[in-house]
Amino acid sequence: MSRVKETSETLALGPTASAHLLPPEVEEKQKGQALRRMMFIALAGVAALIILGVGVATVGVVASDSALRAEQGRTTGLTAQQGKYGKVVTVRAQVTEIQAAQVLGTVGEIDWQSYIAQLQGTLPAGTTITSFHALLRDPSQGAGGSTVPLQGPYVATLSMSADSPKASVSDWLDALSTMKGFVDATPGNVALNVATGRYTVEVDMHISTAALQNRYAGKK
């Protein structure tokens, strides 16, 4: 006895039918709400970016302000120190000016008292100086010479008159050559005093820079 295999088959007649039962106005409202949500999200993102940018800018401004305040503090400190030592700077400037004036004021200076004492030591026995005149050159012109051949530069000229027991001054000229700063010496007029039998002799002597005192030159 055979069994008959039972099968069941489902007949597919196509997709399930559906229908929009809501009115068009409701569907448009739903679309509008979705669009507004998307716009709100976009605006929220933009606002977040703006807030972030403002925050970064604020941090930069605060940092710059702090740096500016620090520099202002340093400037104030330096100004205070300058005020503290301002008198010292002023005094140093005044000292420098005084030193420059000392050097300028003593250019061409010769210790005449000491120099005359040395001249007295060169006089021959029985001879005395009766007049003494010194002519200094302008320091700005430097040491000058004359038209005399082989004559060296000089800064001062001494014109001397002496009372001598003899007319010859050769011994005195030789002694003058040992003087500091000696350049040359030239005899001048010789006159006999009949009443005394003595002679008045004149001598011109040139002096070089070696005789200058230079009290302040090169000193600090």
Same domain, 79 and 129: no
Q: Could you give the CA distance from residue 113 to residue 115 in angstroms, rounded to a whole number?
A: 5
User: What amino acid is encoded at 151 in this protein?
Assistant: Q
**Residues 173-195 pLDDT 10s:** 999 999 989 999 999 999 999 99
H helices, E strands: number in the chain: 3, 4
State which residues form the domain around 73. 25-105
Overall domain count for the chain: 2
Pair (98, 116) in one structural domain: no
Element (H, E) at 55: helix 24-105
Q: Is residue 217 part of a domain?
A: no
117 and 188 co-located in one domain: yes
Question: Is 34 in the same domain as 118?
Answer: no
Give the residue carrying structure tokens 């001249």: 119
State what percent of residues in the chain have pLDDT above 70.
Answer: 64
Task: With beta carbons less than 8 A apart as the criterion, state whether 187 and 203 touch.
Answer: yes
Task: Return the CATH number at 199.
Answer: 3.30.70.2830
pLDDT band at 14 (very low <50, low <70, confident <90, very high): low
pLDDT at position 134 over 60: yes
Q: Is residue 35 located within the same domain as residue 89? A: yes
Q: What are phi and psi for residue 139, nearest 5 degrees? A: -55, -30
159's CB contacts (< 8 A; 6+ apart) are 131, 132, 133, 134, 135, 202, 203, 204
Q: Is the pLDDT of residue 102 over 50?
A: no
Of the candidates 127, 215, 110, 112, the residue with the CA atom closest to the CA atom of residue 172: 127
Specify whether 124 is located in the same domain as 195. Answer: yes
Give the gyration radius of the chain's Cα atoms: 58
51 is a domain residue: yes
Same-domain status, 34 and 70 = yes
User: Considering the entire predicted model, what is its pTM?
Assistant: 0.48
